[in-house]
Chains A and B, each alone.
Chain A
């Protein structure tokens, strides 16, 4: 990083923190601090919804995933527009008109306090751990760029975001999200143009797409119905639909976004904004990863993208031998790629595919060597691809812009999630169980304290999360363990009239147990856990509700 890059990053950080802090004046009462007095316009809420979901993991992990696995991951988002339509019809008007602060607050009105507390507690645990993973991703980048320890970078990102979220509340979260989305989009377009401009003179953008397409990197629809396959059109349209219904409809970090809108109509519009923009945006991010892959057809990529792990063994004779094999394989593939670009026919295509296989074998040998030499069997350098590329190949100033965009993506998610964690802690636990008659000032102060504590907790989790493989999958796996069951409870609450508190509570426990069983005793991919958890919760909850006799209902209503 050079001076101009540093200037861009520091200017971005200073502006965002200042922008967040100046929202303090709008955050004096409980509704202002947690819900912005339900006064925000749809476009700001919509950008905040997208920014909350688009974390640094999306930028760093997804581009790395596109580099190694192509665009298959986009199928994960195919169910999102359908989920948004369903939510606009059901929960948006429901929660908004109920005037609740948290989604779980509604469950006490419909069922009982213990169902509310259990669901809110599940949210706190899963989201608290999730924020840790969200902080871990950009800290990896900074540790590479600065040569600092990951612990230092984790606390720099985590605590700076915690600070402005703590002070400014949901207003700070939303309005900084808007600016952060602008930085992210701008950064993405710039990196796209710069990558393509660095292709060799005889290779055009279209040639690059042909190269990627030939190696299967542009596959966006896989119609095979296989529950053990991670990304197919079916897992996206069915399993991910359940995940999105739960994430946007039952997760406080997203529900809180549309509760800040001016009206039901503005809340709906904000969600539909994601329905229209999410797939194109994800396509753009994956395309960047694919173009980085194309770039490295001609420039020699690092044999191992994680420079820290590679540095531990780079002086050994075996590593040098592997490096030589890798260079030879790369040169062969480069020549084959240029031949294919010069004349696209079956012969050059087969030669290129064969050369790519040889290259992949050489890289796999290197990764295996890192695993055995360092004793780290879970070693995975997917998350290091994009940052390593940016630092080594982007011009001065652009490196700073991309780093700022990654910061923006991280901070926008972290801030919204910390704010939601603080809201659930304050409203669902502190105000409900421990201090029912406090003043607005008291609850806002507690909300600020809760934000700080959750920020600290997330930083500690992040320290342990940096070695968990592809970080975006880690976050989705976290979610899939609880989300299906959580969705099941809300389905019982909203759609099943006969559902009772006992059924909802024990149905939820059955749902979580069923996901645990599915994860331990089957090979189905984690996205399908959402379907399993939801269905088991609804069926078990309904059946248990049937055991509640009418007399019990009458007596409970009378008391």
Chain B
């Protein structure tokens, strides 16, 4: 039988650390992609 869970909307539940570590990896990968894009941008218009 399903139990009705009351959500505390003022203080939502915390996300697990494992989820956060994936987000952090995503941030670092995005940074590398952005730096590569900026480097290509500079090179393209300077040549």
Contacts and interface: CB of A to CB of B under 8 A. Distances in A.
A265 B47 CA distance: 45
Contacts of A275: 27, 31
Contacts of A265: 12, 14-15
Contacts of A268: 20
Say which size band chain A's interface belongs to.
20 to 34
A220 B27 contact: no
A71 B46 CA distance: 13
A156 B39 CA distance: 42
A81 B30 contact: yes
Contacts of B12: 262-263, 265-266
B20 A88 contact: yes
A360 to B, nearest CB: 18
Contacts, number: 68
Contacts of B10: 39, 262
Interface string B1-28: 0000000001111110000100110011
A209 interface: yes
A258 B47 CA distance: 44
A263 B27 contact: no
A395 interface: no
A526 interface: no
Contacts of B41: 218, 220
B46 A74 contact: no
Task: Please report whether the interface of chain B is mostly helix, strand, loop or mixed according to DSSP.
Answer: helix
Contacts of A78: 31, 35
Nearest to A89: B24
A85 B24 contact: yes
A264 B46 CA distance: 44
A214 to B, nearest CB: 7
B30 A221 contact: no
Interface residues of B, number: 23
Given A74-B38, A213-B45, A218-B46, A276 B30 contact: yes
Contacts of A88: 20, 24
A200 interface: no
A233 B42 CA distance: 14
A285 to B, nearest CB: 14
B14 A218 contact: no
Interface string A260-298: 001111101000100110011001000000000000000
A245 interface: no
Nearest to A81: B31
A230 B20 CA distance: 34
A78 B34 CA distance: 10
A291 B30 CA distance: 26
Contacts of B39: 220-221
A84 interface: yes
A82 interface: yes
A369 interface: no
A129 to B, nearest CB: 32
A219 interface: yes
Interface string A207-228: 0011011101011110000000
Given A39-B10, A74-B38, A263-B12, A82 B28 contact: yes
Contacts of A220: 38-39, 41-42
A233 B36 CA distance: 12
A219 B42 contact: yes
A98 B16 CA distance: 19
A84 B28 CA distance: 10
A209 B46 CA distance: 9
Contact of A212 (B27, B44, B45): B45
A210 B44 CA distance: 9
A265 B20 CA distance: 9
Nearest to B9: A262
Interface in A69-92: 71, 74, 78, 81-82, 84-85, 88-89
A276 B38 contact: no
Contacts of B23: 272
Q: 8 nearest interchain CB pairs?
A: A213-B45, A220-B38, A213-B46, A81-B31, A85-B24, A209-B45, A265-B15, A220-B42
20 contacts: A78-B35, A210-B45, A213-B44, A214-B45, A214-B46, A218-B42, A218-B45, A218-B46, A219-B46, A220-B38, A221-B42, A263-B11, A263-B14, A264-B14, A265-B14, A265-B15, A268-B20, A272-B23, A272-B27, A279-B34
Interface of A: 39, 71, 74, 78, 81-82, 84-85, 88-89, 209-210, 212-214, 216, 218-221, 233, 262-266, 268, 272, 275-276, 279-280, 283
Given A82-B28, A220-B39, 4 more contacts: A213-B46, A218-B46, A264-B14, A272-B23
